[in-house]
């Protein structure tokens, strides 16, 4: 951008100051937009090869303490929000004049307001897709008790690359249960035309206020305009509070009843009458089927931007002529089984006729339709055919030319959905889609690409063109392991045209149960059986089958987990809690995708009888029997040092831990033999298994029953622990029997308790599983069973739980990669595991932290490329490292502070060898720091060093290993 352009923007000095604050490697490209308080620029970050949207606050507002406080709050709030439909905030910079710069993700495209100005009303399918995206973003924010308060088209960006809607600008957002004192009583913040009535009045707001604003946005997407018009904003506000909007049904008769109901319920005046939450509204949107979201299924085929004109053309009453036919050659687009009144069917059919007659008058079709009783204007009359007459020689229909297809409008699945096939084979029926135009005419020559959204599959061909019937198909080759596979077929040259299929790879037909254990047990009614239920899956040759899915079913009590994947030895495991009735009970284990099943029996005996199971285990969800002073002492896994988000913690003399770059423990903490460093807090375990924590405690992550920061107190409760791990604002530990406990922040379910309530003392993880290892990411937790099966829970916006989705999990969910993992490591939004010398990673990959050579996230484990045989793996916030069996270290991912140790600050999507001829015997990482212990006993660290946490006597970040203490 030239100096002349900068002068025209009126913000020359602020922009230059902002670029200086960012540092070298940033190039100003152009202005993106401006408002009353800020100007947003497109800036190129050459170091990370990405574009940023940089919001520069006008200098005149730098002294406005309230405005700056709101911006500070926006930065803190958005930094907590990691969701694919929320524009990310990368960081902030403060300028010398007291103002601030926000560094945000750049969304390639335009905002929704600009889109609506260009196109008018949107087709229902596209509008509902955008509504789904933003409702998902709001539901995520609301779960974190954050209300946006300014949802409007200008704050919704349409990503041109992937076609999704993204929510931005949390500048007036706040926690709805926290009085921030930034808004005075009776004062409202937001955009009046999209405010809920209670927000206009300055009353308390919650998530339902955002639901109202989103409802207005949905109304505008479908109607092409705001529901209330006026000469001034005061007029609009009055109508918004006092008048009901014009019914969407009057404006868009092509909409389904459920679409209208979803939007109109959202914009009711009384919050109690609206959707109770964005989550509930989202569920209603996701419950719509294809026929309810596309006007073609209702008789109106509309191109984008034509909705208002089409609505004006719809007659106020059905046509009176006889016959209910359609032009010859047209395919019926209305799905079977749709229940609508006869009057509405005639109305919509009449609308179709008016539109087609108008559009295809040059072909003579208008005259033909007029003869069927749907005429209009000056169309000549044509004799009407009797209802039972077939077209013959001389009939009008017989003389019509074949219809020419229009633009592709609908992509619909025509076969192959919900299939399953044995692993390693092809599905018996190809997947088939059909491309239709707005009148249901097949469209040939459209390129269709097939891909797996989740799971693994190979497509032949991966790209096909529709034939004369508009059909395109592909053969699906299934993977070698059992799994569900979600397939998407997309028109490559037409935005928004896609169809989805769900297919499954199941164990080979020869798989069978080769052994069971846990049959014929007994316990009191409602109690858990003392031993687990086990089944072993083997193939035709008796060899174990890994990763086969086994379902456990019962009408008596509960069996958890309901499904389990077999480990390397072929075993699947579950625990059975009996039903409340006395007597014999049954549970069934079934091999998914086959008829193979086995029945377990158990006897529920009343307490006091001679058959009572004295050693039964308490029901799931209740606290496990503590391994405290009265129980067996845990075998504490000793760990004398650890690397956290901003600190390196070491156990010193007398077992007193201290942390460089973070809060060290007080003199009261001693005898510690294991330490774990989080982002702003740390925990340790003494010889007896008593856990101690110190540092930040805003969410109760220190486990002492308070939310006050301190230098170290015992974690409350009788449980004694053998392992402990610390995340961003939560902590977890394993007792001597492998029961997992967690405490602290639980907004994303990272405590695994089945809810989202914070816990200030340890709470048992709600699972029957027992674990041998546990690790914490920033907002998620993962653990290993003794057989090496990975289970994760908590935040999953980037796929860091590895279960193939992006839904937060409040209790442990198995990663569908089989058993046999020996180690786990979790970063801010990614996870890595080690199995048989091979590293697998999953989750966020913005900086290449998955090590697979791409920057694409992965919802399931993907192998790290190009590594020799590995002995251990560790993860920082956005990087990972592996130590080979030969003692070399390779790192990959973000490298802004030199945490990869290759002598540069360039991020790497593939493993890069750490500099220096050092043989490492152990390795740790956290935040932007990596450290290793060498074979000669020395410790070496590299990466972020602002507070001297590397221990080399300086505050200079290091991009290659530097020896601690020298």
Let me know: does 637 contact 666? Beta carbons within 8 Å. no
d(CA 696, CA 698): 6
55 annotated to bind ligand: yes
* Run of H or E including 801: none
Let me know: does 408 contact 426? Beta carbons within 8 Å. no
SS3 content of the chain, % helix, strand, coil (to 5): 20, 30, 50
In eight-state DSSP terms, residue 361 is: G
d(CA 610, CA 5): 91
Nearest to 406 by CA among 378, 374, 440, 372: 440
Let me know: does 577 contact 620? Beta carbons within 8 Å. yes
Two tokens, residue 101: 């710069």
Q: Concatenated DSSP letters for 376-442?
A: -TTPPP-PPPPTTPPP-TT-TGGGPPPPPP-S--EEEEEE-TT-EEETTSB-SS-EEEEEE-TTS-B
* Run of H or E including 30: strand 26-34
Residue with tokens 């006897």: 603
Nearest to 461 by CA among 471, 451, 446: 451
Provide the β-strand partners of residue 743: 731
d(CA 892, CA 853): 10
DSSP strand pairing (870-875 vs 858-863)? unpaired
Nearest to 620 by CA among 716, 527, 519, 555: 527
d(CA 579, CA 569): 31
For 619, the 3-state DSSP assignment is coil
The neighbour count for residue 885, using CB atoms within 10 Å, is 11
Two tokens, residue 966: 């020298």
Let me know: does 925 contact 899? Beta carbons within 8 Å. yes
- Which distant-in-sequence residues (6+ apart) come within 8 Å of 152 by Cβ? 113, 191, 193, 194, 213, 217
Let me know: does 333 contact 356? Beta carbons within 8 Å. no
Q: For residues 375, 381, 383 and 389, what is the CA-based torsion angle, rounded to 10 degrees?
A: -30
In eight-state DSSP terms, residue 898 is: S
Two tokens, residue 238: 């009055």
For 247, the 3-state DSSP assignment is coil
d(CA 899, CA 909): 14
**Cis peptide, bond prior to residue 561, ω within 30 of zero:** yes
Two tokens, residue 450: 């097939």
d(CA 673, CA 684): 7
CA distances from 668 to 637, 657, 686, 712, 905 (A): 22, 11, 12, 7, 41
- Which distant-in-sequence residues (6+ apart) come within 8 Å of 175 by Cβ? 77, 145, 146, 147
d(CA 676, CA 728): 12
Residue ranges for the known binding site for ATP are 55
Residue ranges for the known binding site are 55
């Amino acid at each position: 951008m030239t100096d002349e352009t900068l002068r025209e923007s009126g913000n020359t000095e602020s922009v230059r100051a902002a670029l200086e604050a960012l540092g070298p490697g940033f190039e100003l490209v152009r202005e993106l937009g401006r408002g009353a308080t800020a100007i947003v620029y497109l800036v190129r970050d050459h170091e990370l090869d990405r574009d940023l949207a940089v919001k520069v606050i006008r200098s005149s507002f730098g002294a406005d303490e309230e405005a700056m406080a709101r911006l500070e709050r926006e930065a803190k709030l958005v930094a907590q929000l990691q969701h694919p439909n929320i524009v990310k905030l990368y960081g902030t910079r403060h300028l010398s004049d007291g103002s601030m710069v926000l560094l945000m993700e750049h969304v390639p495209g335009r905002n929704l307001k600009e889109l609506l100005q260009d196109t008018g009303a949107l087709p229902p399918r596209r509008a509902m897709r955008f509504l789904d995206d933003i409702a998902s973003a709001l539901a995520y924010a609301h779960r974190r008790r954050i209300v946006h308060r300014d949802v409007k088209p200008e704050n919704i960006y349409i990503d041109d690359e992937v076609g999704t809607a993204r929510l931005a600008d949390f500048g007036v957002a706040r926690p709805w249960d926290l009085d921030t004192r930034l808004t005075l009583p009776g004062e409202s913040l937001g955009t009046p035309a999209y405010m809920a009535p209670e927000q206009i009045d300055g009353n308390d707001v919650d998530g339902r206020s955002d639901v109202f604003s989103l409802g207005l946005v949905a109304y505008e997407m479908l109607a092409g305009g705001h529901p209330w018009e006026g000469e001034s904003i005061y007029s609009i506000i009055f109508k918004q509070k006092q008048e009901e909007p014009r019914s969407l049904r009057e404006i868009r008769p092509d909409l389904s009843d459920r679409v209208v109901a979803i939007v109109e319920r959202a914009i009711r005046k009384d919050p109690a009458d609206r959707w109770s939450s964005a989550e509930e509204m989202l569920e209603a949107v996701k419950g719509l089927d294809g026929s309810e979201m596309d006007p073609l299924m209702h008789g109106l085929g509309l191109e984008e931007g034509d909705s208002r004109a089409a609505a004006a053309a719809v007659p106020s009453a059905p046509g009176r002529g006889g016959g209910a036919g359609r032009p010859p050659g047209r395919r019926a687009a209305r799905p079977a089984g749709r229940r609508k009144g006869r009057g509405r069917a005639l109305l919509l059919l009449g609308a179709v006729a008016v539109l087609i007659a108008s559009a295809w008058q040059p072909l003579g079709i208008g005259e033909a339709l007029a003869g069927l009783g749907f005429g209009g204007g000056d169309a000549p009359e044509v004799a009407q055919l009797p209802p039972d007459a077939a077209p013959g020689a001389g009939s009008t229909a017989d003389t019509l030319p074949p219809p020419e297809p229009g633009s592709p409008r609908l992509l619909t699945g025509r076969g192959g959905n919900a299939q399953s096939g044995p692993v390693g084979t092809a599905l018996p029926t190809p997947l088939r889609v059909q491309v239709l135009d707005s009148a249901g005419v097949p469209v040939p020559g459209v390129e269709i690409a097939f891909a797996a959204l989740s799971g693994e599959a190979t497509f032949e061909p991966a790209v096909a063109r529709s034939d004369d019937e508009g059909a395109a198909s592909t053969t699906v080759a299934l993977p070698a392991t059992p799994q569900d596979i979600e397939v998407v077929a997309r028109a490559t040259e037409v935005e928004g045209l896609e169809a989805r299929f769900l297919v499954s790879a199941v164990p080979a037909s020869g798989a069978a149960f080769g052994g069971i254990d846990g049959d014929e047990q007994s316990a009191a009614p409602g109690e858990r059986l003392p031993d687990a239920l086990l089944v072993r899956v083997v193939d035709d040759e008796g060899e174990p089958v890994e990763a086969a899915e086994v379902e456990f079913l019962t009408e008596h009590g509960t069996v958890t987990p309901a499904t389990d994947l077999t480990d390397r030895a072929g075993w699947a495991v579950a625990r059975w809690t009996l039903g409340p009735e006395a007597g014999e009970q049954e549970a069934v284990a079934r091999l998914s995708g086959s008829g193979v099943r086995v029945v377990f029996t158990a006897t529920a005996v009343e307490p006091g009888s001679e058959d009572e199971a004295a050693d039964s285990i308490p029901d799931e969800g209740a606290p496990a029997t503590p391994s405290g002073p009265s129980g067996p002492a845990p075998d504490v896994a000793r760990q004398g040092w650890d690397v956290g988000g901003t600190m390196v913690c070491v156990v010193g003399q007398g077992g007193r831990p201290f942390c460089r770059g973070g809060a060290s423990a007080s003199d009261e903490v001693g005898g510690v033999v294991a330490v774990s460093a989080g982002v702003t807090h740390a925990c340790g375990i003494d010889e007896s298994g008593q856990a101690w924590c110190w540092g930040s405690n805003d969410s109760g992550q220190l486990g002492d029953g308070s939310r006050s920061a301190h230098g170290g107190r015992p974690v409350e409760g009788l449980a004694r622990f053998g392992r402990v791990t610390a995340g961003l604002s939560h902590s977890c530990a394993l007792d001597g029997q492998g029961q997992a406990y967690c405490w602290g922040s639980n907004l994303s379910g990272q405590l695994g308790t089945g809810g989202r309530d914070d816990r200030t003392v340890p709470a048992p993880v709600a699972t029957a599983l027992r674990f041998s290892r546990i690790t914490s990411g920033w907002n998620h937790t993962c653990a290993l069973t003794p057989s090496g099966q990975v289970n994760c829970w908590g935040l999953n916006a980037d796929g860091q739980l590895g279960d193939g989705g992006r839904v937060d999990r409040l209790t442990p969910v198995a990663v569908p990669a089989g058993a046999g993992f020996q180690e786990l490591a979790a970063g801010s939004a990614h996870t890595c595991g080690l199995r048989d010398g091979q590293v697998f990673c999953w989750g966020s990959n913005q900086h290449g932290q998955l090590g697979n050579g791409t920057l694409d996230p992965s919802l399931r484990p993907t192998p790290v490329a190009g590594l020799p045989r590995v002995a251990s793996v560790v993860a920082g916030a956005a990087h990972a490292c592996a130590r080979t069996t030969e003692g070399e270290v390779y790192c990959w991912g973000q490298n802004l502070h030199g945490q990869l140790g290759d002598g540069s600050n360039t991020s790497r999507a593939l493993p890069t060898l750490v500099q220096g001829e050092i043989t490492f015997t152990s390795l740790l990482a956290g935040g932007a720091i990596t450290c290793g212990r060498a074979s000669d006993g020395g410790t070496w660290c590299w990466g972020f060093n602002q507070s001297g946490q590397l221990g080399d006597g300086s505050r200079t970040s290091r991009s290659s290993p530097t020896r601690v203490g020298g």
